[in-house]
Amino acid sequence: MSSTALPRVREVDVAPCVFCGILGGELEASIVLDEPEVLGFLDLHPWSTGHALLVPRRHAQHLDELTEAERASLIEAGNRVSRAMRDAGLADDVHFVINDGPRAAQTVPHAHLHVVPRSRHDRRRMLARLLTAMVPPLWKRSRDDLDRTAATLREALAQAPK
12-21, 26-35, 112-121, 138-147: the lowest-pLDDT one: 12-21
Break the chain into its structural domains and give their ranges: 18-154
Give the active site residue among 51, 59, 95, 112: 112
Is 47 within 8 Å of 116 (Cβ atoms)?
yes
Mean pLDDT of the chain: 86
pLDDT tier for residue 13 given thresholds of 50, 70 and 90: very low
Q: How far is residue 32's CA from residue 99's CA, in Å, rounded to a whole number? A: 21
112 is catalytic: yes
Is 111 within 8 Å of 73 (Cβ atoms)?
no
Q: How far is residue 29's CA from residue 24's CA, in Å, rounded to a whole number? A: 11
Is the pLDDT at 129 greater than 80? The verdict is no
Name 114's Cβ contacts closer than 8 Å, sequence gap at least 6.
Answer: 43, 47, 51, 52, 53, 95, 96, 97, 98, 99
Region of 154 please: left (phi>0), alpha (psi -120 to 50) or beta. Answer: alpha
Architecture of the CATH domain 18-154:
2-Layer Sandwich (3.30)
* For range 120-124, the mean pLDDT: 73
- Note the pLDDT tens digit of each residue in 54-111: 999 999 999 999 999 999 999 999 999 999 999 999 999 999 999 999 999 899 999 9
pLDDT of residue 133: 61
Is 72 within 8 Å of 80 (Cβ atoms)?
no
Specify the pTM: 0.83
Is 113 within 8 Å of 41 (Cβ atoms)?
no
Name 11's Cβ contacts closer than 8 Å, sequence gap at least 6.
Answer: 61, 101, 102, 109
Is the torsion defined by CA of 23, 158, 76, 53 positive or negative? negative
